[in-house]
Structure 1
Amino acid sequence: MSSILTNSGAMTALRVLRHVRDAQDDVQSMVGTGMAVATARDDAAVWAISKVMQSDAAAFDQINDALSLGAATVAVAGQASETVVDLIADMKAKVIAGAQENVDRAKLGADIDALRDQISQLVAAAQFNGLNLVDHTFPERGADTALLASLDRDVQGVEARWISVAKQDLSLHEEEATGWNTTGIGRTIAAGDRRLLGRVQDTETPGTLFRMNGLAGLPLPRPVVFGHGGDHAQTIRDIRDGMEFAAKALGLSFAFDYSTTATGTQIYATNTGDTAITLTDVDLEIVRFGTPTAQTRVPGRLSLLNHVSVADAGLARASLHIIERKLDHATAAAAEFGTVSNRIDTQRAFVSHLADALKSGIGALVDADLEEAQAQQQALQVQGELAGQALSIANAAPEHLLSLFE
């Protein structure tokens, strides 16, 4: 039935034309932005997923930058520790020469002092962006440094993963303290006997200081000071090393060892000589200096190098023992930094590849296929032209009704 009031053909053609123009607008937006899903109205689910992935990709870019900063910091510390190893090795050569007779001890001593000063300067300067991983003579500097390494996402949310970088104290600082309460142990040890000297509690506050004036009533050239910097096991090793140095420096036949219990560590002395020896002025758990505070300085782990001397052959031989121990410590520090550096480099490469993979995944979700878009655009142009012609034909239909009344 034909009607001059309702033109169904024109309405249909107009509806098709509007649909084609909407599709053309979508394709034009796709071509202009390069994205098939640019807003939530395009595809809410895909858009939401892509936004989460984009935030993770941006986070991984920041993590990679943080790892680069951490890598540089560790590289500085690693280079410093390797140089310290070389300087201690040079010091060892000087001490070996000083253990011989008929040598210029004054010249050797000056060389050793210069090497010691160089170690101190190097350790103090080994910082990157204000962070020094080889000099932490304050207790609060003893904590490990954490580098953000990755983000793990699951159904429960996001969890950060960290790379822990242990600080390695290579400082020579030695506390210059006054006001000690000097009470000696005064224990007699028969030849071949092993006796308990004292106990260091593992609950001691970081910053607690211990001092040893001498052994068997013989004073040391200078007191040996130990500090508890929070690492109980390392403190005990330092005390043992210092007591062994003192015994060798004084020509005493002693060997020292320790055993750890639930409450602390017991330190023992064994008389390896032929006669009984009485120990005096061994200030360990018995003596503390002042009240430890957050700013109490702790002697550095290489502070015993301050006692290295070639003033006579006996001191040179005792110094060689200490140098060997501290060389081991510096070597272990350098090796630790090397291990951490390799781990950071591996993590940086992984994070970089992971960020690239996320970006590729986001692109697969939201990027437009421009070849397909071009084909759609051409097809829609043809459809638009046909829809326009159809609308023109439909609009002309009422005019044909006039011929019925002529």
Structure 2
Amino acid sequence: MALNSVNTNVGAMIALQNLNSTNSELATVQARINTGKKVGSAKDNGAVWAIAQSQRSESTALNSVKESLQRGQSTVDVAMAAGETVSDLLVQMKEKALAASDTTLNTTSRNALAEDFKALRDQIGKTVANAEFNGANMLKTSGTTVQALANAKGTSSITVQAQNMGLGGTVLTASLSSTVTFTTATQAKGIVSLMNTALDKVSTALTKLGTGSKALGTHLDFTTKLQDSLDAGVGNLVDADLAKESARLQALQTKQQLGIQALSIANSSSSTLLSLFR
């Protein structure tokens, strides 16, 4: 039999405990709706929060990887554009030298061709000197070799070797120097051979640069997809189902109102004892 006492109201105690529990759940649901997260801090779920934080760190670090890959790709693409210009200039130089190798050509005409040849030769030097992106030049002597980040830990990189296309450099060979020219048909004929060799080497160098640029681009696409997957994984761990939380909010608000009513009824029960003393 329940004790009829004005000092101890067991019903009110139980109603208050239930109301406090409902208010606590309601606060949790409201926090999830406000933040959109079911795990917003370590106190919500320490293990899940730690995993999510680790993946966030990985995803954020991939921003630096993407920037490095984009910077490397731009550097290589600038070098390729300049290299293609060098190849076009070599084709024109070969044309001039071949025309000058004609023994029936008079001296005036050959000298004119030689001037055109020297102008094209000098343009190669200017093209190589200006093939720069963000302070990096892959075509000049001791040019920059691209080493782009390949992972978020910084333990791997994608390397694209510099290609020295300067006059007298390793690609154009030492024979094709900044002073190469011709004055006779025999000299012009010898330069035609040099042009053929230089064109082959420039094509090989451009192939290497093109392969490197493609590798950087492919890895950039992969890194973007990897980052998206990591972000989606973090979302699966910590994001709240707002449709579900909305339904819970409605239920808890109703439960809260009922709890208040129950507490009010329990608190008023002791007043019935007054009727015993009338």
Q: TM-score, normalised by structure 1?
A: 0.64
Contact 2:137 2:144 in 1 (8 A): no
Residues 50-61 of structure 1: matches in 2 within 5 Å? Answer: 50-61=52-63
For structure 2, list consecutive stretches of 5 or more residues without a partner in the other structure.
none
Which among 142, 157, 162 is matched to residue 162 of structure 1? Answer: 157
Q: In 2, Cα distance between the equivalents of 1:81 and 1:338?
A: 11
Q: Does 1 or 2 have the higher relative contact order (CA < 8 Å, sep 6+)?
A: 2
Match of 2:99 in 1: 97
SS at match of 2:16: helix
Contact 2:145 2:160 in 1 (8 A): yes
Match of 2:218 in 1: 346
Contact 1:30 1:368 in 2 (8 A): yes
Hey, which of these two has a bigger chunk of helix by percent?
A: 2
Indicate whether 1:112 and 2:117 are aligned. yes
For structure 1, list consecutive stretches of 5 or more residues without a partner in the other structure.
152-157, 175-233, 235-299
Q: In 1, Cα distance between the equivalents of 2:143 and 2:30?
A: 61
Indicate whether 1:304 and 2:172 are aligned. no
Which among 183, 201, 214 is matched to residue 329 of structure 1? Answer: 201
Q: How many residues align?
A: 272
How far residue 339 of structure 1 moved from its aligned partner, in angstroms, is 0.9
Deviates more, 1:390-399 or 1:158-167: 158-167
How far residue 105 of structure 1 moved from its aligned partner, in angstroms, is 1.4
Indicate whether 1:84 and 2:86 are aligned. yes
SS at match of 1:164: strand
Match of 1:68 in 2: 70
SS at match of 2:155: strand
Contact 1:85 1:327 in 2 (8 A): yes
Residues 3-402 of structure 1: matches in 2 within 5 Å? Answer: 3-103=5-105, 104-136=109-141, 141=142, 144-151=145-152, 158=153, 160-172=155-167, 301-306=172-177, 308-402=180-274
Q: In 1, Cα distance between the equivalents of 2:218 and 2:205?
A: 20
**What is the aligned-residue RMSD (CA, Å)?**
1.7
SS at match of 1:368: coil
Contact 2:23 2:256 in 1 (8 A): yes
Please list the CA deviations of residues 162-211 of structure 1 after superposition, one character each: whole Å capped at 9, or x if unmatched.
Answer: 1101000001158xxxxxxxxxxxxxxxxxxxxxxxxxxxxxxxxxxxxx
Q: In 2, Cα distance between the equivalents of 1:8 and 1:317?
A: 114
Hey, which of these two has a bigger chunk of strand by percent?
A: 1
Q: Once the two structures are aligned, what percentage of the paired residues are identical?
A: 38
